[in-house]
Amino acid sequence: MSLDNPFGGARGTGGKERRCVAGGNAGITFKRDVRVRGPVAAPDVLLGLSTPTFVRSVDEFLVRTELDGWDFAEFNHLDIPPFCPELLDKEARRRARAMAGDLGIGISLHAGDWDLLSLDPGVRRYAEVRSLMESELARDLGALYLVAHIGIPQRMMLHDGGRAWADQFFDYAPRVEAAVEHLSRVADETGVRILYENTYRLVGPLVEAIAARGSPRLGFLLDVGHANMGEGVRELHRAMRATGRLVAMHLHDNHGARDEHLPLGAGTVDLDGLELPPYVVVEVRDWQKAVATRDGFSKRYL
Ligand SMILES: [Zn+2]
């Protein structure tokens, strides 16, 4: 199945229940039909909520996500308890997957900040182990995808007191290639779809390397807030979309300088005219503001 059509045979059907098959994982039956159509033709879109504030348990997040009418729950930054792979044994994973299935919602995972591009070989080794562990967790949960930042070059202090990014002084091309190779292996071994989420450095080289040499199980998540601070939302959307592997979007707003994670409309992010990927996740750090962002987005773009 191609990455740009994760809905398989369900696309275009008008039934109340839809079966979504992702990345070779077991199918999930979504209870709600979200295919609301506006005047502009949009692809089928499932709407997810990223862990917006502190939650005490997996159950709490799943139940509340369903109650608030979302299609899937994105567990954000797995290194924050209770989402660490070490804290979810086989039984806990089976339970969470069953619970999501009973609720009729999907699960996606946002990786912890493992850094596959680090200059420090020890940090890279940890990132390799950790990315495999988190992919296994995604597989066990039947996740729609695992999204990751992959790595950001370090910020360095210069002799004159100034600051610079490490990729201004060191050659990161071999690290980019090694990261893509490693993630391709992990994705293929676990059968999990792994998405690269744009941050602030080396976005172009990572997109290019994944598109050219990555496993078909590697794809892209466009974070529109991050893009608004760097490449530009429209420009990066075009680049990711051209690869045929744009699978998901993180939705939040800012004014172009800081990663504020504001509700959509509170900053300068403009989505007009963009073709949407199949998964759109609201990353606003407040339950009510996240719901308001989703509703405003649906009204305007779906
Ligand atoms: Zn994001």
CA of 15 to the centre of ligand 1 (A): 31
Average pLDDT over residues 215-234: 96
Q: pLDDT digits over 200-223, tens only?
A: 999 999 999 999 999 999 999 999
CA of 283 to the centre of ligand 1 (A): 7
CA of 284 to the centre of ligand 1 (A): 10
Q: 92-101 contacts: CB < 8 A, separation 24 or more?
A: 92/58, 93/137, 93/140, 93/141, 94/140, 96/58, 96/59, 96/62, 96/141, 97/140, 97/141, 97/142, 99/58, 99/59, 99/62, 100/28, 100/62, 100/73, 100/141, 100/142, 101/28, 101/29, 101/142
Mean pLDDT of the chain: 86
Residue 210: how many CA atoms within 13 Å on its side-chain side?
30
Q: Which position has the higher pLDDT, 288 or 223? A: 223
CA of 112 to the centre of ligand 1 (A): 12
- Structural domains present in the chain: 8-301 (3.20.20.150)
CA of 197 to the centre of ligand 1 (A): 7
Q: pLDDT digits over 127-136, tens only?
A: 999 999 999 9
CA of 86 to the centre of ligand 1 (A): 23
Residues with beta carbon < 5 A to ion ligand 1? Answer: 223, 250, 283
Q: pLDDT digits over 80-129, tens only?
A: 777 889 999 999 999 999 999 999 999 999 998 899 999 999 999 999 99
What SS3 class is residue 193?
coil
Q: pLDDT digits over 42-64, tens only?
A: 448 999 999 866 788 899 999 99
CA of 159 to the centre of ligand 1 (A): 33
